[in-house]
Structure 1
Amino acid sequence: MPSEEKEFLIRSYHKIIHAVQPDALYQKYFHVFDKTLYYKNTLIDLDIPGKLILAGSGKASLSMGTAFLPYLSRKVDGSLFILPSGSSGTPFTLIEGNHPIPDQKSLKAGKRMFEFIRSFTENDTLIYFLSGGSSALLEYPESGVSLDDIQKATDTFLSCGMSINEINVLRGALSRIKAGKLGKICKAKCYIFVLSDVMGNDLSTIGSGPFYRNQIDQIQINDLILKYQLEKSLPAHIINIFKEYSPIRNVDSIPHYLIGSNMDLLEAAELICFDEGIRPLSFPESLFGEAKQTGKMIADMIKYYSGQKPTCMLFGGETTVTLNKTPGKGGRAQELALTVLNELQGKPGITLLSAGSDGMDGMGGAAGAIVSAHTYKKAQELNLCIEKYLEKHDSYH
């Protein structure tokens, strides 16, 4: 693989991730004037008689909360953050959950957050930091729903090719904290700061919208049941819960503030390209649907634009993978990269990086993959059939 292109992509990936860290994003949106904090032109009123509480859930919530501390002119009276395993080194109270499938830790974390949020009064102020991964990290099932039910449902959702937006539509029916239900029990004044991981930045689906008034209707739920034939893969009582679900409508509107999204990533990538003297071609929110189909689309676009050099094509979004009964190891980004490799058939002069912005792609521990004509040549020399690895969803090697 051409080392120059590979090094540029790896270097750029790290620069992009650094550019969308909370401390960098906050500098764009927050400012303090006369000891008063503003988000853009919106006053964040912290002159309160009661307690100031910081809380959060999701893979980026701890860094979001930590980066927020320098903007405060008063002490924090309490905190609770729900995070993946291995998080540490913080002034906040931390509880671990599990991702991507909720487990007993997620249930413990969800119940603890539920009771924590419910304990506030009208005099208190809650600042909550919400990011991707929150849906699995904390869970508190509705009455009649077991952990096993939620695990089976989540595993089915992830393996049948549902998008994160579609998954989070259904998750709310099984949970006491999703789909605006945390907001319903919170008496404190709330500010919700959000780092989006979903297409379109739909606030009702980011982290399953624990504080956001749900706009889902029964028609959407029934459409998803039919589209993915869920009655064949989920227990009857879970299907009945979905069909009988009535989203709460009487939750007061709680302010949500978007501090980062896929567009911030692409903008950072464009600036890096300009600095390197490379022309960027950006395609926002262009990655969706099955990773294989998206990979084929990208390969076609690469062929179309490949004569225009030097060019860096930038794609953003989130794909899905519909798994078979005995899948191999890999992730959505890796499967996309392998599909592009197979479609280009060793076409020279092209190097592709496909990676997750959170540094995780599937269960193998990789952030993604880099492929080029050199990768294809090596596969040919080893007599590896790329098609067979794609059929088995076995891209991690």
Structure 2
Amino acid sequence: MVAPDQRRSFLASLFDAAVAAADPRKVIAAHLPGRPKGRTVVIGAGKGAAQMARALESCWDGPLSGVVVTRYGFGAVCDRIEVIEASHPVPDEAGLVASRRLLETVNRLSADDLVIALISGGGSALLPAPPEGLTLADEIAVNDVLLASGAPISAMNVVRKHLSQVKGGRLAATAHPAKVVSLIISDIPGDNPALVASGPTVPDDTTRHDALRTVERYRLTLPKAVMRHLQSDAAAAPHIGDPRFSGNEVRIVASAGVSLEAAAVEARRRGVEAIVLSDAIEGEAREIAHMHAALAIQVAERNAPFRKPVVLLSGGETTVTLAGNGKGGRNSEFLLSLAIDIDGKSAITAIAADTDGIDGSENNAGAFADGNTVAKLAARSVDARKLLDTNDSWSAFNAIGDLFTSGPTGTNVNDFRAILVE
């Protein structure tokens, strides 16, 4: 590989391999529960929920019905399962309606019935259900503060699950005494199922006090009504030992680790050694970029600790603490920071993209960067550092035609990063 378009085609093929490994059509069939004596009811939420529902319909031997909610533009045609589309990352009225529909769907079931919950990342925003005394506007305000805070997704979801009538296991508790089998595509570093979509069907041992500690640690300014709720016993979520969950099952059907290994296999098939650094990286996107850049430069200049050619793979979920009002997402911010660090290093080419197909506020999955990115921006009178300072990474890569657009993928195992060193 010599030409830039060949390098980028190679990196895009690794992204495709990672996404394919998490395709609901491939993973759902291997994790089906047995048919119940009574009804089979399907519920779901997340960016991959509609495709998961379609996959389930294609392989389920028996009657079923239900409803799932996904992001606008991420829907799929299903015959027996209703698909509702709502707003992400900012909740809206359609999400509020969807939350009520899911609660109604699992209410008044019997012990002979089965609930199959199809959960993927993005479900937190798609399932607004403020508790008594709070409003949708309160939940939107909380969401905005969390997204701008730089807090990791695990911390954000601890807060969210204590401000909901659905999250924190409450949806599964409503389904009792029916058995709930959760099929989960994990976008959470470490794959804790209770944190995916803030755990609507999976409880954990966090408390409202953990949520309050998160508020304090990240200096979150939340509405007064929200703080009053968190400081009251009404915020308590069902505990992991609650007997209503005793017969339920939780199955992780796809994850970043599996997807990164699939990308590594594809790289080796094409003659390039692949190293998976980690599938659970968290932290500020621009700071994580410094670490990746330092390693790539060492490989480029010293042929160590890995021999060239090699592609360095990593996943997880970085964060962005907003200081400006530019366009972009955490993957393009990572790349712009990386591009500044590898400026002039022609042997290094990288892709960073969200496996759901959307990075941040625009319709690109991510972008490409290499040792010439900063120079190309300068040639168009664009200051890379200034755009990074204002969180305007989308504008940087759009200016030089280096955005990567895949469209909605139907799945979500979070960040995908691949850095090729020749």
Verify same fold: TM over 0.5: yes
Q: 1:372 matched to which residue of 2?
A: 370
- Maintained 8 Å contact 1:111/1:139: no
The answer to whether the 8 Å contact 2:335/2:368 transfers is yes
1:298 aligns with 2:318: no
| 2:393 alignment partner, SS class | coil
Give 2:120's aligned amino acid. S
Q: What is the number of equivalent residue pairs in this alignment?
A: 379
Alignment of 1:242-391 (within 5 A): 242-244=230-232, 245-249=235-239, 250=242, 251-253=244-246, 254-306=248-300, 307=303, 308-324=307-323, 326-391=324-389
Deviation, structure 1 residue 121: 2.0
Aligned mates of 1:192, 1:260 — CA distance in 2:
12
> Among 53, 57, 64, which residue is 1:69 paired with?
57
Residue 46 (structure 2) pairs with residue 53 (structure 1): no
Counterpart of 2:175 in structure 1 is: 186
List alignment gaps of at least 5 residues for structure 1: 31-38
Contact 1:288–1:318 under 8 Å retained in 2: yes
Shift of 1:214: 2.6
CA distance in 2, matches of 1:16, 1:201: 16
Does 1:204 pair with 2:194?
A: yes
Asked if the contact 1:221–1:243 (Cα under 8 Å) also holds between the matched residues in 2, the reply is: no
Match for 1:69: what amino acid? E
Letter in 2 for 1:10: A
DSSP-derived class of the 1:121 partner? coil
Q: How does 1:68-217 map to 2 (within 5 A)?
A: 68-76=56-64, 78-86=65-73, 87-91=75-79, 92-187=81-176, 188-217=178-207
Which amino acid is 1:182 matched to? L
Secondary structure, in 3 states, of the residue corresponding to 1:199? coil
Residues in 2 aligned to 1:286 and 1:5: alpha-carbon distance in whole angstroms: 25
1:7 to 9, 17, 32: 9
**Pick from 9, 18, 33: which aligns with 1:16?**
18
Identify which of 223, 239, 264 aligns with 1:235.
223
* More displaced stretch, 261-270 vs 285-294: 285-294
Higher relative contact order (CA 8 A, sep 6+): 2
Contact 1:221 1:242 in 2 (8 A): yes
1:33 maps to which residue? none
- Once residues 138 and 221 of structure 1 are traced to their aligned partners in structure 2, the CA distance between those partners, rounded to angstroms, is 18
Matched to 1:14, the amino acid is D
**1:31-50 alignment, distance < 5 Å:** 44-46=33-35, 48-50=36-38
Tell me if the contact between 1:191 and 1:255 (Cα under 8 Å) persists in the aligned partners.
yes
Residue 35 of structure 1: aligned partner: none
Distance (whole Å) between structure 2 residues aligned to residue 246 and residue 12 of structure 1: 43
**CA–CA distance in 2 between the matches of 1:211 and 1:107?**
17
CA distance in 2, matches of 1:89, 1:68: 12
**Equivalent residue number for residue 36 of structure 1:** none
Determine if contact 1:57/1:81 at 8 Å carries over to the other structure. Answer: yes
Cα shift at 1:219: 4.1
**Amino acid across the alignment from 2:226:** I
Question: Separation in 2 of the partners of 1:365 and 1:18?
Answer: 20
Q: Determine the C-alpha separation between the residues in 1 that align with 2:280 and 2:120.
A: 21
Structure 1 distance, partners of 2:13, 2:186, is 24
- Secondary structure, in 3 states, of the residue corresponding to 2:344? coil
- TM-fit CA distance, 1:54: 2.1
TM-score w.r.t. length of structure 1: 0.91
Structure 1 residue 226: Cα displacement: 1.3
Please give the alpha-carbon distance, in whole angstroms, between the structure 2 residues aligned to 1:70 and 1:52: 15
The code of the aligned residue for 1:152 comes to A
Deviation at 1:65, TM superposition (A): 2.2
Structure 1's consecutive aligned runs of 4 or more residues displaced over 4 angstroms after TM superposition are none
Partner of 1:395: 393
Out of 7-16 and 101-110, give the one that drifted further. 7-16
Whether the 8 Å contact between 1:204 and 1:215 is mirrored in structure 2 is no
Shift in Å at residue 227 of structure 1?
0.9
The code of the aligned residue for 1:301 comes to L
1:127–1:286 Cα change, 3 Å: closer
Amino acid at match of 1:67: A
The whole-number CA distance in structure 1 between the counterparts of 2:66 and 2:108 is 12
Distance in 2 (CA, whole Å) between partners of 1:145 and 1:49 is 39
In 2, Cα distance between the equivalents of 1:238 and 1:277?
54
Q: State percent identity of aligned pairs.
A: 28
Q: 1:288 aligns to what SS in structure 2?
A: strand
2:409 alignment counterpart: none
